[in-house]
Structure 1
Amino acid sequence: MTTLDDDRIDLGAYFSRIGYSGSHEASVDTLAAIQARHMACIPFENLDPLLGRPVRLDLPSLAHKLVHSRRGGYCFEQNLLFSHVIGRLGIEHIGLAARVLWNQPADEDRPRSHMLLLATLDGVAYIADVGFGGHCPSAPLRLDSEAPQQTPHGNYRLRRDGADYTLLINIDNAWRPVYRFDLCPQLPVDYVAANYYLSTSDDSHFRHGLYAALATPGERRALLGHRYTVRKDDGSSARRDLSDADEIAAVLREEFGIAVPDMACLRAVVAHGI
């Protein structure tokens, strides 16, 4: 794997991919605008692990897949690409690693299996994340506040406990933990082992279930196995159960903009059970 400084991405192609034509100034407004557009246009998805395809983290592979090939990816792919983009704009940042708490037993020790970013602008530190799927915050969050912070797609807060921070989301008037992290900087190479485990191990949930998510203006779209759900900002939602691989592929294409890379393999995986 190369580091992100070894290659350069075509920023024009990236901004075209996400439909962004705003400022390139290194500011929190720029960071927030690009984060929102990225999450609205580049879907979270795990088709490569599910279909037994390699997940590559070098920058040319990320650009080819996420920018040029109508695909998305999961946290390492999404946030490594995003890291390079904001770095090119002069936004100071580091990579971090988190332990996923969402839908996990409270007393269970979790590995550091999620990547997020810490960006610093005008002396203020913000959490920026475009790779946590259906509950990813769609705006930067100030690290120095434990008060609720409103984003375009939900209310979040950060709780500090010594050196650790826990990200929480408010759902149905209850605060639920999303992930826990500290501020130890990670290098791109530090994500290789976790990426290999998540994309190849039989114990990885990404190898056995289908996940896709987009946070478009006014709603979140989510695909979990055969169930497609749209949740509106007003609290309403609609669900649809998909019958087979062809219907799943149609939803991936039409609702998430994802071109399925191997339909024969998807049919086999769906027939086996996702």
Structure 2
Amino acid sequence: MTTRPTDTGGAPTDHRSDRWSGALLDLDAYLARIGYEGPREPTLAVLRDLQRAHTTGIPFENVHAVLGRDLPLDLPSVEARLVHGGRGGYCFEHVVLFAAALERLGFRVTGLMGRISLGASKVLPATHGLLAVTARDDVREWLCDIGYGAGPLGPIELADGAHAAYDGWRYRLERRPGAHGVDHWWLHQTAPDRGPSGWIDRHTFTLTEQYPIDYVVASHFVGTNARSPFVRRIFAQRMTPTAHHSLDGPTLTTTRSDGTRKTEELAPGALDGTLRELFGITLTEEELRGLSRDGLGHG
């Protein structure tokens, strides 16, 4: 069981049950969107099923950021895009929506912030939202990383050395000592380019509690700053039990849980069909016209 640090850096203590605006969520519409028809109770089994359904049911995409559109993170706006609008989103949108659903169902939800690493040698900005969740029937805390676009398909116990495997996709957590008694956690995943048993560090995070307003600030940088890759070219990801599909500009990569990988360059004019058929993302004619000449971002 994870013990949280007592020093929160002066952040206010707030354990309200409505922090994530769960009462505002159209729960029936959300569950229909992700294809979930199971029990509605705050148990570990339900958490696992919900994360799988959400991760495979709502894709990752950044079209709005590429087009320079506002991305408000209040729940009604996120729900309008991802649930009623049938669109995907990036991590902060996924986290806000999933947290609201969990809160509505009675789970205890804590926001966290991470730094994407992927083997980088330098410190990158904290631009990734994720959640720590506690179920009613389990005293352990669980990491729910539902906005990364590449799984995992279920929660991982928030414990040093914890391993998890979902349909052949493998992950592990590592805790490293940090300054001022604040430990740094690292999420690792298997990586095909590191060999059949190779691992890569995906991101690092601390257990310092984050609030919805913290995600608003980070999302503003991710979605508007000229140095953010999310405003320069399109990204889309879809996770399934058997394959992870990733579109980075014109490059489409499909990775399977056995480590095999296929990469190809999209032909001009192929973006619309690829997004519809492979990612479940339907762009409007206006959005397609607003993208670059080949529909793959601003370059």
Scaled by the length of structure 1, the TM-score of the pair is 0.92
Worse-superposed segment, 231-240 or 48-57 = 231-240
Q: What percent identity do the matched residue pairs reach?
A: 33
Superposed CA offset, 1:215-252 (max 9, x none): 123221111111222223333333332122x3111111
- Checking the alignment, whether the CA contact within 8 Å between 1:129 and 1:140 is kept in structure 2 is yes
Find the partner of 2:291 among 257, 266, 274: 266
1:91 to 2:115 alignment: no
> 5+ residue gaps in structure 1?
none
Q: Quick one: which amino acid aligns to residue 160 of structure 1? A: R
Q: Who is 2:187 aligned against?
A: 167
Which residue does the alignment assign to 2:273? 250
Deviations 1:130-165 (A, max 9, x none): 11123x322100012404321235111111012111
**Aligned residues between the structures:** 269
Determine whether 1:15 maps to 2:31: yes
Match among 242, 247, 262 for residue 238 of structure 1: 262
How far the C-alpha of 1:271 sits from its partner, in A, is 7.2
**Equivalent residue for 2:127?**
113
Counterparts of 1:127-142 in structure 2, within 5 Å, are 127-134=143-150, 136-142=151-157
Rounded to whole Å, the distance in 2 between the matches of 1:180 and 1:202 is: 24
Q: Is the 8 A contact 1:228 1:242 kept in 2?
A: yes
| 1:155 correspondence with 2:178 | no
Looking at structure 1, the residues matched to 34 and 251 of structure 2 have their Cα atoms a distance apart, in angstroms, of 26
Which residue is equivalent to 1:67? 83
The answer as to whether partners of 2:127 and 2:218 remain within 8 angstroms in 1 is yes
The yes-or-no answer on 1:30 pairing with 2:46 is: yes
- For the residues of structure 1 that align with 2:155 and 2:43, how far apart are their CA atoms? 11
Q: Is the 8 A contact 1:43 1:71 kept in 2?
A: yes
Cα RMSD of the aligned pairs, angstroms, is 1.9
Distance 1:29 1:3, change over 3 A: closer
Q: Per-residue deviation at 1:5? A: 2.4
> Contact between 2:23 and 2:104, CA under 8 Å: does it hold in 1?
no
Q: Tell me, yes or no, if the aligned pair for 2:111 and 2:130 is still in contact at 8 Å.
A: yes
The question of whether the paired residues in 2 share the 8 Å contact of 1:153 and 1:219 is answered with no
Query: 1:184 maps to what in 2?
Result: 208
Any gaps of 5 or more consecutive residues in structure 2? 1-17, 178-182
